[in-house]
Amino acid sequence: MKTYTPQEVAKKIQHTLVTPDASEKDIAKVVEECLTYQFDGAMVQPCWIPFVKKKLEGSGVKVCTALGFPMGGMMTSSKVAEVVEVFDAGADEIDFMPNYGWFKSGKEAEFQAEIAAVVQAAKGKTVKIMLEFGMLNREEKIRAATLAKEAGVTYLKNSSGWGQGGHATVEDIALLKEIANGEVGVKASGGIRNFDAAVKILNAGAELIGTSGSVKIVTGEGEESSIY
């Protein structure tokens, strides 16, 4: 098992604040923490992209946003338009919620076509798909991740960390790593709240971690975690 320093873990973390009531003051704090601890990126809602982009300019910290979040059921054309808009606004990466109603209905062609449309609209920029493993059985996890990989996503992500998306587990991250097979990346999210949990998830195969508990993780003040 590889050992990590807090600084090395920080470089793997996308510091996240996507709550609906996050104020400009809250977002400014996220930016400041990203600069202080040199997190990989700041994950915010789309409306905050210009503000965050300006604050992080020249720092090397990425501007990340969530698209189609949290339900994923809007029209594909709306998602595609939002992809273009958020990248034009200054986003470096997106985490994208696919249409699980289609997937659960057996509409795999529609499910995959939408993912491919989002990837195409991104024009080579980083697209991470939120796979919401908490709603899926093992067979569905494998199938959804495989369809997403075939559609051209940059990263497979186990969960949005919201609602029924579920928490990251060593087993699920290892499964994604196997499916990714070195061809795409793996991002972990959900329930990662302390340094030991972050290290476990990284050793399971994650290359990025999405969490709102970033500062506590790297300072050793993290809460009890649900990672197993």
Expressed as residue numbers, the domain containing 163 is: 19-27+43-187
pLDDT at 163: 76
Alpha carbons 19 and 184: distance in angstroms, whole number = 28
For residue 1, what pLDDT is reported?
A: 87
55 part of the active site: no
Catalytic residue among 12, 62, 187, 200: 187
Q: What is the pLDDT of residues 179-203, one digit of tens each?
A: 999 999 999 999 999 999 999 999 9
pLDDT-derived band at 169 (thresholds 50, 70, 90) equals very high
In the set 79, 157, 172, 200, the catalytic residue is: 157
The yes-or-no answer on residue 157 being catalytic is: yes
Provide the whole-model pTM: 0.96
Average pLDDT for the chain: 96
Q: Does residue 10 belong to any structural domain of this protein?
A: no
Evaluate whether residue 206 is within a structural domain. Answer: no
Question: What is the domain-level CATH number for residue 57?
Answer: 3.20.20.70
Residue 157 is assigned to a structural domain of this protein:
yes
Q: Examine the pLDDT at 27 and tell me if it is beyond 80.
A: yes
Are the CB atoms for 142 and 175 separated by under 8 Å? Answer: yes
Decide: 168 and 130 in contact? Cβ < 8 Å: no
Q: Answer yes or no: is pLDDT of 227 > 70.
A: no
Determine, yes or no, domain membership for 205: no
**Is 62 designated active site?**
no
Residue 95 lies in a domain: yes
Per the structure, the count of domains in the chain is 1
Instruction: Tell whether 196 is covered by a domain.
Output: no
In a domain, 121, yes or no: yes
Catalytic residue among 95, 128, 149, 172: 95
Q: Beta strands 185-189 and 208-211: pairing type?
A: parallel
Q: Is residue 153 part of a domain?
A: yes
